[in-house]
Amino acid sequence: MIKRKVVSWTVRGFIVFLISGSVMALFWYHELLYRYGLLSLFVFGGLGIAALIATVSWLTRPYKSLRMRGKGSFYFPPENLTKVLFGTISMISIPIDDEKPPGQGSLCLARVDTGKRIPFANFMIKDVNRAIVSDIEEEDLSRMGFSDIDELQTKAQESGLALSGDVEVYLVEFEVLEKGRF
Amino acid sequence: MDGLAYFLVLVMFIASLVVLLLGVITLKTRGLRSVFAALMTTFLIVNFCWLFGPGGFLGIDPSFYSLLGGSATILTFPLATFLILMFLHPRNLVKQIPTFSLLMIPAVVLGSWASQIGVGASQVYEIQYVYLFVILCICLGLVESIWGWLGSRTVRNQCYLFILAFLVLLATGPLYDYELEMLGFWGLRGASLGAPIVGAFILAPLVLANPMPFVKTPYLTISKSRPSYDLKPGRCYGISEKRPKYCYTLFKDLSDSGYPTMVLTSSDPGRLRMDLGLSGSTVIGMTSRDTSKTLKATNLGRVLFTLTEFAEKNRKPVMLVDCLHYMLSNNDTMDVAELIQKLLEPIERNEGVLIMSFSLMTKEEKETLLGLGVLHLQMPPPEDVISRILAAYLGDLSEYLLKLSSRMMSKKARDFTVEDIPELSSILAHSMRALGQATNEEAILRNWERQVIGLRQSLTSFQNAPIAFLSSDGWRDWDSLDWIKKPRRRRPKMRMVAGEAVTPKALATTHRKVSLHDEVSGVFVDSLGDFGSDLLKMECASLGIEFKTMTKEDVEMLADSAATTLFEMGGFVNVESANVSMKATAENLKKDLGRIFQETVEWYPE
């Protein structure tokens, strides 16, 4: 997490520095700018500077990934919302025959499955693995918020999913990057 | 040159030196490291010449430094191009010689010629041939990088940075004079400005794809593998099984036979090495991050280079990939397919074997990989075959004995592999003999001994069964009892007793009449399998009942006595679930026998 923040700030800082440096370098050639006349400078220069300010402000936002769009959404029942936000639940299982989840490092949206499917968090996929349901380890079960396999199977059945012991599933591990503010 | 230009060249010089040192320390592939070091050295020479050349700090023999700088500038471009070609088309060094010669000979000739006619670093791009050659080198590198970016999925990220490196080289090399003209600044010249930037752009992807270090296997005498495993050299095998088991068995056999081996696994490498006893193998883990000991699942470039390096450097290499499902979960299927396809070439060339576990994969993924020419082996779960063999010999008791064995081996029955058969066989034999001795009957003990021998032979036959037999589903129809030429004990048939002439009226009133002892024997065999008939004989002997002339009262006594024996045996097995199940079987047996002596069927003693 810290490494990612450091890399992100370094890249942003470098881009901001390049923009600032370019603006400063323009002073060296300020005579060139006079050629275009006041109106052109006012309109196009103004638009250019506005775009620059917008870009710099976007780059200097509080921590948010440079990649804007996630690759998909995952749906959670309302009762799990706080558990996901506070990291108590950091893994989900998806049957292997369902749609393939995005791979490591992808950004996704977490949505509350209440009909409207409202997004409540932005998270990053840390790891995707596969397992047979009966082989899922206790550690992974606790990450999913279950105490044992029976509980996982019962909950799955309640949501209309048959997860017998032989079913193969994706185990998607994730980390919440940004909470709310959508 | 003014002070600012000096300062900038000095900064570039130091930065290039740092990149050179980083490259030498981090790059593991010898060929790439050498070429990278040569490239950065030429950059350093160029900068050095700008510092100490005409008008430089020291003003030492300006003509010599100028000429040296000019030649080094010319060499920079083919070296950068050769480095990219080496990376994109990894081959052994001998096969790289033609490409190297094609790029370097003209560069050396042009460099020498430029020195001879006295063209220094400041005028080197003004020579038409040099300009053309440099542009050609850059175009070749750019085209190869763009082709790699568009055409290859495994090295896409690397190619992206290579393109940037060539654009920087173009901007700081042949196009630089025009830029200087436009900007009116004549401080820095030639490739000096781009040196550390180009170096860093090239170094970063090379480090990202750095192969894992491994010790080259010393030349060993390769002994013959087990004949039943007959794997063809130069081929790739995809082993379909529920949990990866046979892939380890085959791999271990080849490892024990002296082949140089490497495993790429998503489980703990140390544990796998210990479990399989792979002391001489290279075991590499695959996780969610790149470290000095593990590969990242999404960094397919590094995975490819590590596997290719091993395949290229060893004779008859054997590689096992048990984490294909993990790679497929984190990458596009086509990316992984391309990786396998690229890996097949060195495997085929060096007569190696690539074994891949197809467990936990979807049908589409399997089909995609099989389309590459991978040989498919659909293997049965060993625990299923073992259960079938046990059921054939022990009937209902098989389940209890399997649980007992699994507890004694501290392993779940679903995790049994072919390698576990000797230990399992030994435990089963001990348990069966102990059960036989518990009956205190010599005849039964002898029968149990016969069963033990048969069971062990069947298990050994399974252990040594050829792959072709197991993968062809032949095991499903295999009667393990036939293996020892033992006629299968048949359940006694109900026999019709014709009492009177067969007329339509008689047929309507004929009752089904069977002998009592056959019916009793049938109940015992139904409930307990082959053990049932042994138990019946033992009980008859202990109660003094003549088997063939038993009466309904005898059956009642027999039911009580057999149930008591089974209760006691359930306690002896010492597995809670088996104990409960045994007691339930005893209850059922008693109930079934009770039904016989309560029935009003006419019994005909033989």
Provide DSSP, B346-394: HHHHTT-EEEEE-TT--HHHHHHHHTTTPEEEEPPPHHHHHHHHHHHHH
- Report phi then psi at B101, rounded to 5: -65, -45
C-alpha B388: how far from its chain's center? Answer: 28
In whole angstroms, what is the distance from residue B118 CA to residue B106 CA? 18
pLDDT of residue B487: 42
Option in A126, A128, A134 nearest B329 (CB): A128
DSSP string for residues in A99-155: PPPP-TT-EEEEEE-SSS-EEEEEEEEEEEEEEEGGG--HHHHHHHT-SSHHHHHHH
**If you average pLDDT over every residue of chain B, what do you get?**
81
Write the DSSP symbol of residue A42: I
- Asked if pLDDT for residue B568 goes beyond 80, the answer is no
In whole angstroms, what is the distance from residue A144 CA to residue B311 CA? 40
B-facing residues of A in 2-21 (CB < 8 A) are: none
Option in A96, A103, A131 nearest B331 (CB): A103
CATH topology of domain B3-208: Rhopdopsin 7-helix transmembrane proteins (1.20.1070)
In whole angstroms, what is the distance from residue A61 CA to residue A5 CA? 13
- Asked if pLDDT for residue B8 goes beyond 60, the answer is yes
C-beta atoms surrounding B472 within 10 Å: 12
On chain B, the residues whose CB falls within 8 A of the CB of A105 are 298
In the chain, the amino acid numbered B433 is R
Share of chain B above pLDDT 70, in %: 84
In whole angstroms, what is the distance from residue A17 CA to residue B606 CA? 107
| Distant-in-sequence, close-in-space partners of B375: CB < 8 Å, separation ≥ 6 | B232, B235, B236, B237, B238
Q: Is the dihedral of CA B431, B436, B437, B439 positive or negative?
A: positive
CB contact under 8 A, A103 and B297: yes
C-beta atoms surrounding A79 within 10 Å: 9
Among B179, B302, B330, the residue to mutate for chain A (most A Cβ within 10 A): B330
In whole angstroms, what is the distance from residue B224 CA to residue B256 CA? 10
> How is the beta sheet containing B318-321 ordered, strand by strand?
B294-296, B282-287, B261-265, B318-321, B353-357, B235-240, B375-378
B259-287: average pLDDT: 90
CB contact under 8 A, A134 and B326: no
CATH topology of domain A72-179: Sulfate adenylyltransferase (3.10.400)
In whole angstroms, what is the distance from residue B136 CA to residue B138 CA? 5
Question: What are the distances in angstroms from CA B595 to CA A137, B147, B364, B519, B559?
Answer: 48, 82, 55, 11, 10
Confidence of residue B494 (pLDDT cuts 50, 70, 90): very low
B122-126: average pLDDT: 79
Confidence of residue B340 (pLDDT cuts 50, 70, 90): very high
| Closest chain B residue to A125, measured at CA | B330
Q: Which residue has the higher pLDDT, B105 or A9?
A: B105
H or E segment and range at residue B315? none
Confidence of residue B62 (pLDDT cuts 50, 70, 90): low
Q: Write out the two tokens for A12.
A: 């942003």
On chain A, the residues whose CB falls within 8 A of the CB of B242 are 132
In whole angstroms, what is the distance from residue B108 CA to residue B128 CA? 16
Instruction: Please state whether beta strands A168-179 and A118-132 pair in parallel, antiparallel, or not at all (unpaired).
Output: antiparallel
Share of chain B above pLDDT 90, in %: 24
| Closest chain B residue to A28, measured at CA | B183
CB contact under 8 A, A103 and B266: no
Judge whether A132 is closer than 8 Å to chain B, CB to CB. Answer: yes
Among B289, B291, B329, the residue to mutate for chain A (most A Cβ within 10 A): B329
B100-126: average pLDDT: 86
In whole angstroms, what is the distance from residue B255 CA to residue B220 CA? 11
pLDDT of residue B507: 41
In whole angstroms, what is the distance from residue A81 CA to residue B46 CA? 61
Question: What are the distances in angstroms from CA B15 to CA B72, B193, B195, B199?
Answer: 18, 10, 8, 10
Option in A101, A104, A135 nearest B297 (CB): A104
In whole angstroms, what is the distance from residue B291 CA to residue B296 CA? 8
In the chain, the amino acid numbered B362 is T
- Least confident span in B89-103, B145-159, B254-268, B491-505: B491-505
In whole angstroms, what is the distance from residue B247 CA to residue B245 CA? 5
Option in A96, A97, A103 nearest B330 (CB): A103
In whole angstroms, what is the distance from residue B598 CA to residue A89 CA? 62
B24-32: average pLDDT: 89
In the chain, the amino acid numbered B515 is S
- Asked if pLDDT for residue B605 goes beyond 50, the answer is no
* Burial group, residue B131, by CB count within 10 angstroms (0-12, 13-18, 19+): middle
H or E segment and range at residue B497? none
| Closest chain B residue to A129, measured at CA | B326
3-state secondary structure (DSSP) of residue B265: strand
Q: Write out the two tokens for B395.
A: 């009937």
Judge whether A137 is closer than 8 Å to chain B, CB to CB. Answer: no
Q: Write out the two tokens for A67.
A: 């990649």
Which pLDDT tens digit goes with each residue over B420-432?
A: 888 888 888 888 8
In whole angstroms, what is the distance from residue B448 CA to residue B454 CA? 10
- Asked if pLDDT for residue B60 goes beyond 60, the answer is no
pLDDT of residue B266: 92
Judge whether A148 is closer than 8 Å to chain B, CB to CB. Answer: no
Q: Write out the two tokens for B598.
A: 């309560």
CB contact under 8 A, A96 and B330: no
- Asked if pLDDT for residue B375 goes beyond 70, the answer is yes
Q: Write out the two tokens for B420.
A: 């576990």
> Is the Cβ–Cβ distance between A39 and A76 less than 8 Å?
no
Confidence of residue B326 (pLDDT cuts 50, 70, 90): very high
Confidence of residue B191 (pLDDT cuts 50, 70, 90): low
Place of tokens 């109106």: A39
- Least confident span in B371-375, B404-408, B464-468: B464-468
Judge whether A134 is closer than 8 Å to chain B, CB to CB. Answer: yes
C-beta atoms surrounding A123 within 10 Å: 22
Place of tokens 């970016």: B149
In whole angstroms, what is the distance from residue B372 CA to residue B164 CA? 33
> Is the Cβ–Cβ distance between B37 and B179 less than 8 Å?
no
> Is the Cβ–Cβ distance between B120 and B69 less than 8 Å?
yes
CATH topology of domain B231-378: Rossmann fold (3.40.50)
Strand partners, B447: none
pLDDT of residue B230: 76
3-state secondary structure (DSSP) of residue A72: strand
Place of tokens 């600012």: B4
CB contact under 8 A, B297 and A97: no
Q: Which residue has the higher pLDDT, B142 or B484?
A: B142
Q: Write out the two tokens for B160.
A: 């992206």
On chain B, the residues whose CB falls within 8 A of the CB of A97 are 362
- Asked if pLDDT for residue B479 goes beyond 90, the answer is no
pLDDT of residue B492: 44
Write the DSSP symbol of residue A45: I
On chain B, the residues whose CB falls within 8 A of the CB of A168 are 360
Q: What angle do CA B299, A168, A161 make, to 5 degrees?
A: 125
Confidence of residue B108 (pLDDT cuts 50, 70, 90): very high
> Is the Cβ–Cβ distance between B543 and B556 less than 8 Å?
no
C-alpha B20: how far from its chain's center? Answer: 37
User: Which residues of chain B approach chain A closer than 8 Å at the C-beta?
Assistant: 242-243, 266, 288, 296-298, 325-326, 329-331, 360, 362, 414
Which pLDDT tens digit goes with each residue over A114-173?
A: 777 788 888 889 999 999 999 899 999 999 999 999 999 898 888 888 788 889 999 999
3-state secondary structure (DSSP) of residue A61: coil
Option in B242, B298, B325 nearest A105 (CB): B298
Which pLDDT tens digit goes with each residue over B439-463?
A: 777 777 888 888 888 888 888 888 8
- Least confident span in A157-161, B41-45, B310-314: A157-161
Exposure pattern of B258-285 as b/e (b: 16+ CB <10 Å)? bbbbbbbbbbebeebbeebebebbbbbb
In whole angstroms, what is the distance from residue A127 CA to residue B286 CA? 12
Closest CA to B419 of B180, B223, B226, B150: B226
On chain B, the residues whose CB falls within 8 A of the CB of A132 are 242-243, 360
3-state secondary structure (DSSP) of residue B232: coil
- Asked if pLDDT for residue B320 goes beyond 80, the answer is yes
Q: Write out the two tokens for B52.
A: 């100490």
| Chain length of chain B | 606
Q: Which residue has the higher pLDDT, B85 or A23?
A: B85
Which pLDDT tens digit goes with each residue over A74-113?
A: 888 888 888 998 889 999 999 988 888 998 888 888 888 7
On chain A, the residues whose CB falls within 8 A of the CB of B298 are 103-105
Q: Delimit the domains of chain B by residue range.
A: 3-208, 231-378, 382-484, 504-598
Minimum distance, in Å, between the CA of residue A42 and any CA atom of chain B: 25
Q: Delimit the domains of chain A by residue range.
A: 2-59, 72-179
Minimum distance, in Å, between the CA of residue B466 and any CA atom of chain A: 27
Q: Which long-range contacts (CB under 8 A, 24 or more apart) does B89-93 make?
A: B90/B305, B90/B308, B90/B312, B92/B312, B93/B31
